[in-house]
Amino acid sequence: MDALTIRHADIGDLDACCRIESACFSPSEAASRASIDTRIKIFPQGFMVAARDARVIGQINSGATDQDDITDEPFKQLIGHVPDGKHLVVFSLSVLPDYRGQGIAACLLRRFVKRAEEDGRKAILLLCKTGLIEYYQRFGFVDRGRSASTHGGADWHEMALILGEK
Ligand SMILES: CC(C)(COP(=O)(O)OP(=O)(O)OC[C@H]1O[C@@H](n2cnc3c(N)ncnc32)[C@H](O)[C@@H]1OP(=O)(O)O)[C@@H](O)C(=O)NCCC(=O)NCCS
């Protein structure tokens, strides 16, 4: 098996990232092709993919902001994105079903955190469902409680990883 490659996304990854998004989220939760296109074009620094055998199989993407409120829907299309913002907000961490349970999301997340630290970001914020709270806690995220977001009709928790606190 080829080694896993983690790299920043480019526009040639658009089709693969859309396929991952729709394989990993329900239609009401999945980002549109237009949103993913925007995220790759506007903020490739905050968009990483995992590839094996030259096939893109996982992704993490984000926007940057100085705001604490991460429930803002237009922000997911990077409306209000501030490239040097102190917070990175993760929109999607997703791995194709056939490749799960091999630490691929963990590799993406660790590389993403490293880059955020190198760039001097203050925190990484995200919303997750209750079942994934413990997963993010393994990486140092803290549960800030239930979010006001009702995205896709689900219950979400706000998770925060404060950087520079080691
Ligand atoms: C969550 C996700 C990205 C993990 O990808 P992965 O590459 O399998 O992750 P890792 O190999 O690093 O870790 C696997 C661990 O994740 C945890 N996990 C994954 N999905 C989970 C879920 N729905 N509920 C609870 N735990 C879950 C488990 O602890 C699992 O451990 P195991 O391998 O011992 O079973 C992947 O399952 C996925 O794409 N899910 C659908 C999209 C999603 O919900 N993304 C998170 C948005 S907040």
The atom of ligand 1 lying closest to the CA of 106 is 12
Q: Evaluate: CB of 107 within 6 angstroms of ligand 1.
A: no
pTM of the model: 0.94
- pLDDT per residue over 45-84, tens digit each? 999 999 999 899 999 999 999 998 888 889 999 999 999 9
Q: Phi first, then psi: what are they for 39, rounded to 5°?
A: -60, -40
> Of ligand 1's atoms, which has the minimum distance to the CA of residue 103?
11
Strands 123-128 and 87-95: parallel
45 close to ligand 1 (CB < 6 Angstrom) = no
Whether pLDDT at 150 is above 60: yes
Quickly state the pLDDT bin for 1 (edges 50, 70, 90): low
Residue ranges per structural domain of the chain: 5-162
104: pLDDT strictly greater than 80: yes
- Termini Cα distance of the chain: 35
Predicted pLDDT at 11: 98
Which of the four pLDDT bands, split at 50, 70 and 90, describes residue 153?
confident
Using a 6 Å cutoff on CB, does residue 6 contact ligand 1? no
CATH architecture of the domain covering 5-162: 3-Layer(aba) Sandwich (3.40)
Ligand 1 proximity of 22 Cβ (cutoff 6 Å):
no
